[in-house]
Amino acid sequence: MRQKIRFEKNIKGEKLTILEFSEVDPGVVILLHEEEYNLEEMTKASEEGAQAFSRLMRRRTFFPASYLCEKLFENTMEFFRNKAEEKITIEYDDVEAFPKEEEFQLEDEDVELDKILEEDGTTDEDEIKEIDSKDDTPKFTPEDTSEHEN
């Protein structure tokens, strides 16, 4: 899921507003959540480091994962230092949280599925008759009191 997290400073009110937007459909972005913080406290936490920043930013209603907190911290360090900058938007895609996987490719020596099917895929009539020759219907005796008897 693609997200946009916007930090907005209200310098007169000494507030910082964090807005979380999400792409619900391709090209359709909606506001999911809004949180207000004390601007001075957030600036101080940003100066102290990623752990202090994450600790202050996380709340019961807004709790980004650690990798997202790290990204937000790294991208907002300059934003908090620069008093004139009022807004910053950080884009994030959940795919970034997953490790990169190697794309699977068949090697020349790898066995192709079609070759396996060609080798083992033939069954002649005699083999089929041999399999079907055994009587596999269940037989019950009067002593058998299992539920499957009826």
Interval 119-143 mean pLDDT: 62
Structure-token pair, residue 17: 């507003």
CA torsion sign for 13, 63, 44, 96 is: negative
State the pLDDT confidence band at 111, using cuts at 50, 70 and 90: low
Closest by CA position to 53, among listed 34, 31, 76: 76
Q: What is the pLDDT of residue 132?
A: 59
Pairwise pLDDT comparison (18 vs 105), residue with the higher score: 18
Q: Is the pLDDT of residue 4 over 70?
A: yes
Q: Any idea where the domains of the chain sit in the sequence?
A: 2-97
Alpha helices in the chain (DSSP H): 39-48, 50-57, 66-81, 113-120, 125-132
Q: Give me the amino acid identity at 21.
A: F
Element (H, E) at 4: strand 2-10
Q: Is the pLDDT of residue 102 over 90?
A: no
Interval 80-86 mean pLDDT: 93
pTM above threshold 0.95: no
Q: Is the pLDDT of residue 93 over 70?
A: yes
Interval 7-20 mean pLDDT: 93
Interval 40-61 mean pLDDT: 95
Q: What is the pLDDT of residue 100?
A: 72
Cβ contact 5:34 at 8 Å = no
The terminus-to-terminus CA distance of the chain in angstroms comes to 54
Task: Give the Å distances, CA to CA, from 120 to 49, 110, 124, 126, 132.
Answer: 63, 17, 11, 16, 20
Interval 117-135 mean pLDDT: 60
Closest by CA position to 16, among listed 40, 45, 50, 32: 40
Q: How far is CA 15 from the centre of its chain?
A: 32
Cβ contact 89:6 at 8 Å = yes
